[in-house]
Amino acid sequence: MEEKFVTVGKYKIRYLEVGQTDPNLILLHGLGGYAERWLALMPFLNKKYHIFAPDLIGYGQSDKPSVDYTPELFVKFVFDFMDALGIKKTSMIGTSLGGQIVAECAALQNPIIEKIIMISPAGIMKKSTPALDAYTMAALYPTQESAKTAYHMMVGPNKPVSDTSIERFVNNMSRPNAKMVFLSTLLGLKNAPDITEKLGKIKIPTLLIWGKEDKLIPFEYSEKFASSINNCILVPMEGCGHSAYVEEPERLSKIIIDFLSK
């Protein structure tokens, strides 16, 4: 795996790249996330796919311009990122915020995108939850204790949370402008139009994965999300919370490979 940087528009964007074999696969992290959130999943996928995992604009070690972090901004960023790397065809996986971005990209019906997979995506839920409140507090007041509390609320029952994940989150949220980006993204999601109409425009094969024990964006939202997309496959992840790619990467990888191979 290589850490790389690319200029997207006028901004310096960091990403992780691994695998040399086509087809391409882009991984988009969630709110407050960073590319390393996918590290547990990558070893199960990199022999079959050429993987690109960016720090979204405003997140991780990517530039954090003072702009409005709306879904439209992230969608434009994704297409500009693919253009900067010369990616002509790819499938995409997104979690939480990244899942909504993937859905909105697919709704544009651009032939670059072949298949999409969403893991507990944002977009349907408009109210907060105790887990989201705790996560927001951890982002605004990033300490080991606040981050550990939030992360334990996000995962499934009796699932461990690594000290490394907590440390990376605290370090990233302590970077200049990181809190501004987080709050701007939250406001952008809250004020965005209902996503249901856009979901109906998705025509490519779609897989929706949702942790049955998700406390951040509860499983109850999965049915409306799935039913809004034509021919969407919904796979519940028993025993998983909001981050199946960290909690059960091997089990998740089998579901992903099965879907992408068809």
Angle (nearest 5°) at CA 72 between 67 and 77: 75
- pLDDT tens-digit profile of 221-238? 999 999 999 989 999 999
**Amino acid identity for residue 194 in this structure:** D
Task: Give the CATH number of domain 2-261.
Answer: 3.40.50.1820
203's CB contacts (< 8 A; 6+ apart) are 109, 230
**Amino acid identity for residue 218 in this structure:** P
Taking residues 55-72, what's their average pLDDT?
A: 97
pLDDT-based confidence at residue 129 (cuts at 50, 70, 90): very high
Taking residues 237-252, what's their average pLDDT?
A: 97
- pLDDT tens-digit profile of 69-99? 999 999 999 999 999 999 999 999 999 999 9
Sequence spans of domains, the chain = 2-261
The total of other beta-carbon atoms located within 10 Å of residue 70's CB is 16
10's CB contacts (< 8 A; 6+ apart) are none
Helix (H, G, I), strand (E, B) or coil at 104: helix
| Residue 194, pLDDT score | 86
Cβ burial, residue 137 (10 Å; 0-12/13-18/19+): middle
Taking residues 169-192, what's their average pLDDT?
A: 96
- Helices 163-173 and 144-154 meet at what angle, rounded to 10? 120
- pLDDT tens-digit profile of 141-170? 999 999 999 999 999 988 999 999 999 999
pLDDT-based confidence at residue 126 (cuts at 50, 70, 90): confident
pLDDT-based confidence at residue 22 (cuts at 50, 70, 90): confident
Please check the confidence at residue 185 and state whether its pLDDT lies above 90: yes
Task: Give the whole-number percent of the chain exceeding pLDDT 90.
Answer: 95
Taking residues 180-188, what's their average pLDDT?
A: 97
